[in-house]
């Protein structure tokens, strides 16, 4: 019995650890990504509201069953970015695309302030969040907001080194 327990313990210790590796979120890198995209985007600083029960959950017994995209009705209320800053009122229904990469899924908390890069689609606006962050920055700092304003106004927009 002790040998079986020892063998099980050794197998557990030598099993490969699977982890998701992400670049640190960087607003300048995300800004450059959307500026180069074929799709149209707007930048907003707004509160995100949605039903948290609709977020995808990983079934650890069947990790392959995690959906790659879960579309959730949501609302963002705040300001959109213009050449003069975050000064255009924004209050719209959007779609939150909570994405999963295998067993790792995006998370979000209703009522949280986001700096969001919203894709304009034929059916409205889409916020894509993934396990590495995606197109949203929760509770952005004043410095993060200044950096995206600088990028938008044509100033220096260099991503930070990882």
Tens digits of residue pLDDT in 43-74: 999 999 999 999 998 777 777 778 899 999 99
Instruction: Band the pLDDT of 24: cuts 50, 70, 90.
Output: confident
Name the 3-class secondary structure at 122: coil
Q: Is the dihedral of CA 97, 99, 105, 106 positive or negative?
A: negative
Write the CATH number of the domain with boundaries 27-153. Answer: 2.40.50
Element (H, E) at 13: helix 2-14
Lowest mean pLDDT, pick from 28-42, 51-65, 89-103, 136-150: 51-65
- Phi first, then psi: give them for residue 86, nearest 5 degrees: -85, 85
The pLDDT mean for the chain works out to: 87
Span 129-156, average pLDDT: 96
How far apart are alpha carbons 77 and 47 in whole angstroms? 5
The pLDDT tens digits of the residues spanning 74-119 come to 999 999 999 999 999 999 999 999 999 888 899 999 999 999 999 9
Interhelix angle for 27-36 vs 142-152, to 10°? 30
Question: 40: Cβ–Cβ under 8 A, 6 or more apart, which residues?
Answer: 119, 120
How high is the pLDDT of residue 11? 38
């Amino acid at each position: 019995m002790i040998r079986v327990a020892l063998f099980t313990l050794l197998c557990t210790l030598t099993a490969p650890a699977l982890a998701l590796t992400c670049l640190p979120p960087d607003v300048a890198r995300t800004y450059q990504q959307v500026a180069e995209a074929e799709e149209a985007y707007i930048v907003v600083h707004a509160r995100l509201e949605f039903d948290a029960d609709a977020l995808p959950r990983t079934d650890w017994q069947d990790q392959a069953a995690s959906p790659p995209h879960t579309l959730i009705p949501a609302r963002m209320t705040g300001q959109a970015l213009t050449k003069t800053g975050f000064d255009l009122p924004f209050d719209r229904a959007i779609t939150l695309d909570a994405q999963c990469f295998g067993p790792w899924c995006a998370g979000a908390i209703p009522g949280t302030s986001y700096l969001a890069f919203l894709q304009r689609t034929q059916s409205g606006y889409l916020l894509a969040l993934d396990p590495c962050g995606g197109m949203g920055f929760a509770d952005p700092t004043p410095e993060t907001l200044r950096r995206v304003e600088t990028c938008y106004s044509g100033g220096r927009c260099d991503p930070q080194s990882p």
